[in-house]
Structures are given as structure tokens and as C-alpha cells.
Chains A and B, each alone.
Chain A
Amino acid sequence: MCGIAGLIHRGKSSKVGHELQGMLQALKHRGEDSTGYALYGDTDGKNFIMRFKVGENVGEGSSSVMEDISVYDERKKIVDNYLSEMGAKIIKEERILPYSLRYEIQYDKKDLLEFSQRIESIPGVEILSMGKSLEVIKDLGNAKMVCERYNLDKLVGTHAIGHARMATESGVDIKSAHPFWGYPFSDVSVVHNGQLTNYWNNRRTLENKGMRFMSECDSELIAVYIAQKMREGASLEEGMKESLVGLDGVFTYFVATKDSLGMAKDTMAAKPLVLYESDDLVAMGSEEIAIRSILPQEIDTYDPFDGEVKVWQI
């Protein structure tokens, strides 16, 4: 089933980590195999923030194979070496969990494709996000558990999207959890509720064009599809509109960039979405109770129509 939620503050910052946690926790009955956050924090915009994992969470319910922690250490060392070789300077390093790390990196090149390919050539290493504002945090468990594990409650930013997952199309692991980074674009992330039925056709086409897939989760296709459209010169909104034709199946998805947040709904309108829009805040979720967690007062909400695409700026 899965639940998605997103919010964007226009003209101000807020504790988006805390707010999104409340929204996703309200949707936990839609799935709590894993929960993911894409948070756009307030930064000076000078350095890249790289969230990456060197292994999987092998806790209860996980479909991953347990590895020795020394393997994680070895992978981290190789990452550090590669960064050094590519001229990327680590400004700040946090090892939040044995398998999950956050680096602030000084890196001057704009093209992240070569950078990402090099890092991800290390078996077991995956970049969860790369950007100057974006941080993707995802792990097994419900929203509250993940928020506490990664201390997201105090993160201040402008916008965020998130996902509460009930695994149906692929395993219960971090690599299949949402949000997906719009590799190799800085600060692009995607969450999706639904099922894509032309996944393999699209995947083969995109792989032939040099795009990378890290999981077998159909939702990853949206991130890659949009990223490819942007690579070809389309704007975010244009890419999203093209996806309504190019992607087959039922879906509602959100895409976020450094300064915008967008939603798209398939032409069958088969997946739910409730939307609240005001001058200074847009909040949306699979169910109204997600929005109510941050706006308990009586408000006007609505369901976007079939085939609708909307994009908001901060």
C-alpha cells in the first residue's frame, strides 16, 4: 500500500524533520517495513552533503544478509581513498550507524556522474543522496523509529518528502526503501505510491543510456526516468508531465529539488493524494490525517485530479 507525504514552506524555514516525522507516523498503518526522509536543510550551499551506506540493516524483518562490521570499515576506507583521489575533501564526517554515514565534502566539479560511479563501484556501497541541501535518510522501521535513530527531529529546512513503505515489489532493505535520489543530479529526490507495470522495458532502455539502478524496486524507475529527462534538457515539470505517458501503471509520486517540490498523479487517479495549499505552506499526503498532524485546525484540502502535475517553489 505505502504512504507518502511532503511539505514545502514558502519564504521561511521550519523543523521539517519533526514535521515530516509526524506526517509519516500518521501514515504508518500504510506500511512500516521501512521509512525514508528526503530533507532539504538550511545550509550555506558551499559543500556537498553525501549520505551513503556501506552495508544493510540486518535487523528483524530484513531480507539482507548479515556482514561482519569489519567489512563496513574496509568499504569506508576505500570510499575515503577514492574521495581523496578525486580531489574531494572531507570537511565533516559522521558515522551515524555502523552501515550509515554522512559526509560534508568540498568538491568543485559539477558533474556528479563520474564521482558517483566511482564511489558506487565499491561493492556494497550506495550513495543515498548527494546535494548541497538534500539529505536522504532511510532505514527499516516506522517514521518515529527512523527519526530517533538518525536524530532528525531538529533538522531545520524549507521542504521535505517522505515515504512509509509496505514492501510488495522487492525486498525489505534500505536499498529498496524510498526516497530515491535522482542520480546523478544534485538535490533531486523521489517518493512514490503505486505500481509501475512497464518497469523492465523502461529500465533496459535507460540502462542502455548509461543510467544506474541500485535496486529492483519499480519506484526507483521514476527517479531515474525524471533524471534522464532532465539530462536531455527538460525542466522538472516537463519531465514529470512526460512521465504520465512514459510510465505505465498506477502512481502518485513527489519529486523535490533544491528549491521546489512537485507532485504527479497517473491518468487513472488510482492512488490517493490529499493536498493543502496556502500562501506560505503546501502540505500533502496519502491521507488527510498526515496533514492534520501538522495542521490540526480546520483547513480546506482537496484531491488533485487524474493526470495532474503541480510544482511549487520555496
Chain B
Amino acid sequence: MANLKNVSKKTKAQAMGMHSEVLTGRTQQKFFNPDEAENFYYFGTYDVDFNKRTDLDVKDMTAADANKEIDNLMSQGYGTIVIKNPQGKHSLGVGILNKLNLIFEGSLGYFGMGSCDGPIVRINGRVGWSCAENLMAGKVVIEKNAGSCFGAAIRGGDLICKGSVGARTGIDMKGGTIIIGGDAGAFTGFMMQRGRIIILGDVGINLGDSMYDGTIFVGGEIGSYGSDAVDAELTKNDQDWLRRKLKVAEIGENFDLSKMKKIVAGKKLWNYDNLEPTEKKGAI
């Protein structure tokens, strides 16, 4: 078991198991140098007004057309867009690099909300595989269930599923937080490198298999541990952070946090820190 309490010269965040956590994403970077700001331009972004609201019915639209129309509405300054009749279409809402309130009145198919940076999204239905893949910043809330590879390779932001999720949740994630209200399938946190996953229900086999870093919190039963996933002590700091996070996520506010199990990397795997400089460059 990792004994983080006894590690010397660690900050509070480090003691919580986030010792190498570096959140990324446009909204969390320090790039606003006043001298450079004038010339700064982030492709595909617009000034939007959250009080300017519109509906978009995508029933008879292709995903590409729907996404173009969302972009078009943002360019007109709409800051709140309600998508009607998504009907399980794939790849809806991808590549949004804006602050935006986006509401889906229904379910999405595969790859919904992929490669986004900044929007606040609520999906009043279910999502298919690979929802919010590569999320950089923002918040995506799913009211029902989600498919496999939920939050694959996210770098930042909050990804919340109030129902259950499939296998390989948070695979290869490099930052951000994933919160699951129900159960999660096999290989949750597979090869995760940074970030945090919170599961209030049960998880399947091979939890945290081959994880390099990051932290997984599980409220229910664990099917089995994956290679190099080990238990760690749940500290008061962890519980404080979990309470805040669950409150913000509007999920599991009355959950008994003392029952949470904390899982971290055993650090026995091949990892970047052990590489020779030339290998490290190649791996990155």
C-alpha cells in the first residue's frame, strides 16, 4: 500500500495522490501575457452571450451539418444552444473550443463531444462509446448511462455520468476528473496517466490496469485489480476534495465517503520517469 503520509516534502495536493497532476487545456494555461494578448487568436472561438438562447432540431441533419450549424450559431453570438432530437447520432458536438451552454434533449451515439475545450454540456439521455474523448476543459454531464471508453484520453475538465458506464472508462486519461454515479465495467482507468476517476458503484475486473499515475476512488465492490494498481490510504484531504467534487457534480451528495477505496499506481511499471533522456523524447 502506498504510504503517502510518510513521504516528506510533499504539499497538500501531493498528499492527496495528485503529486504529478498538471491540468492542461486552454482555460487553465497561463498564456495571457498582456503584451501577447493582442495577437492571440484561438481558431474556432467566438464571443458568445449565455443569455442568447436558441433551439436546433437535428432530426433530419447529418452529424457534420449539425456541427456546422452549432458553429454557425456560436458565430452569431448564441451562448446557449438546445439540441433537439439527436436520436443517437454519432459525433455530435465535436470540436467545440468555446465557452458555451450546450443542452442535448436526447441521446448521442459514438464519439459525442469529442475534442472539446471549454463548453458546459448537459445530455438528457445516454451516450455511446468514447464520449468526450480528448476533452481539454469544460464540463459534460450525462443524465443516463454511457458506453465504453468514456472519457478516453481526456486532458482536463469534468466528465460526469449519473448512470452506469461500460468498459475502459478513462483509458489513457492524462488529466481532469471523471465521476460515475452508477457502476463501471472492466479495465476502468486502463493505462491512465494523470487525473482522477470517482465511481460510486461497483467496478468490473482489472481496475486501473497498467496505470502510470492518477487516482481512482471506488465506492462499491471491485471485480479485481489490474496490473500495478494498488490501494492507498484515503485521507481527510481526499474526503474533503471528494465531497466538494460530488457537490459540484450534483451527484452522490449523501454518499458515505469513509467507505471509498482509493487506488493509485504501484509505480512498478515501465514509466516515463525511468527512461533515458533520448527515449523520453521519443515517447513524448
Q: Are A287 and B186 also in contact (CB < 8 A) when A302-B126, A305-B167, A305-B204 are?
A: no
A214 to B6, CA, bound (A): 65
Identify the closest chain B residue to A290 (Cβ).
B88
Identify the closest chain A residue to B145 (Cβ).
A302
A298 to B90, CA, bound (A): 16
A164 to B126, CA, bound (A): 24
Identify the closest chain B residue to A301 (Cβ).
B126
A234-279 contacts to B, CB under 8 A, are: 267-270, 272, 274
B229: min CB distance to chain A, Å: 17
Judge whether A292 is part of the interface by a CB distance below 8 angstroms: yes
Most chain B CB within a 10 A radius of its CB, from A268, A288, A298, A306: A288
| CB pair A303 B107 closer than 8 Å | no
A residues within 8 A CB of B126?
Answer: 288, 300-302
A302 to B201, CA, bound (A): 16
A300 to B125, CA, bound (A): 7
| CB pair A287 B185 closer than 8 Å | no
A residues within 8 A CB of B166?
Answer: 269, 303, 305
| CB pair A267 B186 closer than 8 Å | yes
B residues within 8 A CB of A303?
Answer: 145-148, 165-166, 185
B283: min CB distance to chain A, Å: 25
Q: Flag B91-130 by CB within 8 Å of A: 1 or 0 each.
A: 0000000000000011101100000000000000110110
B residues within 8 A CB of A267?
Answer: 186, 205
Judge whether A289 is part of the interface by a CB distance below 8 angstroms: yes
A208: min CB distance to chain B, Å: 33
Judge whether B164 is part of the interface by a CB distance below 8 angstroms: yes
A282 to B167, CA, bound (A): 22
Judge whether B261 is part of the interface by a CB distance below 8 angstroms: no
Q: Flag A15-30 by CB within 8 Å of B: 1 or 0 each.
A: 0000000000000000
| CB pair A274 B147 closer than 8 Å | yes
| CB pair B87 A289 closer than 8 Å | yes
A310 to B168, CA, bound (A): 21
A4: min CB distance to chain B, Å: 15
Q: Are A305 and B185 also in contact (CB < 8 A) when A269-B148, A272-B148, A298-B106 are?
A: yes
Judge whether A296 is part of the interface by a CB distance below 8 angstroms: yes
Partner pick for B145 among A291, A298, A301, A307, CB 8 A cutoff: A301
| CB pair B128 A274 closer than 8 Å | yes
| CB pair B163 A269 closer than 8 Å | no
A272 to B125, CA, bound (A): 18
Judge whether B144 is part of the interface by a CB distance below 8 angstroms: yes
Partner pick for A288 among B128, B186, B204, CB 8 A cutoff: B128
A residues within 8 A CB of B262?
Answer: none
A118 to B113, CA, bound (A): 56
A268 to B171, CA, bound (A): 13
Q: Are A269 and B186 also in contact (CB < 8 A) when A302-B145, A306-B205 are?
A: yes
A residues within 8 A CB of B146?
Answer: 303
| CB pair A298 B107 closer than 8 Å | yes
A194: min CB distance to chain B, Å: 14
| CB pair A288 B88 closer than 8 Å | yes
Q: Are A300 and B186 also in contact (CB < 8 A) when A288-B107, A289-B88, A305-B167 are?
A: no
Identify the closest chain B residue to A300 (Cβ).
B144
Judge whether B139 is part of the interface by a CB distance below 8 angstroms: no
| CB pair B186 A305 closer than 8 Å | yes
A239 to B164, CA, bound (A): 28
A residues within 8 A CB of B87?
Answer: 289, 292, 296
A61 to B168, CA, bound (A): 37
A267 to B206, CA, bound (A): 11
Judge whether B162 is part of the interface by a CB distance below 8 angstroms: no
Identify the closest chain A residue to B125 (Cβ).
A298
| CB pair B110 A287 closer than 8 Å | yes
Judge whether B155 is part of the interface by a CB distance below 8 angstroms: no
A269 to B205, CA, bound (A): 11
A303 to B131, CA, bound (A): 13
Partner pick for A272 among B89, B147, B204, CB 8 A cutoff: B147
A302 to B166, CA, bound (A): 8
Identify the closest chain B residue to A296 (Cβ).
B87
Q: Are A306 and B167 also in contact (CB < 8 A) when A272-B147, A287-B88, A289-B88 are?
A: yes
| CB pair A306 B186 closer than 8 Å | yes
A272 to B147, CA, bound (A): 8
Q: Flag B65-97 by CB within 8 Å of A: 1 or 0 each.
A: 000000000000000000000011110000000
A307 to B89, CA, bound (A): 27
B38: min CB distance to chain A, Å: 46
Identify the closest chain B residue to A299 (Cβ).
B107
| CB pair B88 A292 closer than 8 Å | yes
B residues within 8 A CB of A300?
Answer: 126, 144-145
18 A-B residue pairs with Cβ-Cβ distance under 8 Å, sorted by A, are A267-B205, A269-B148, A269-B166, A269-B167, A269-B168, A269-B185, A269-B204, A270-B167, A287-B110, A289-B87, A289-B88, A296-B87, A300-B144, A300-B145, A302-B145, A302-B163, A303-B147, A306-B185
Besides A288-B88, A298-B105, A302-B164, 14 other A-B contacts (C-beta < 8 A): A269-B204, A270-B167, A287-B88, A287-B110, A288-B126, A296-B87, A300-B126, A301-B145, A302-B145, A303-B165, A303-B166, A305-B186, A307-B186, A307-B205
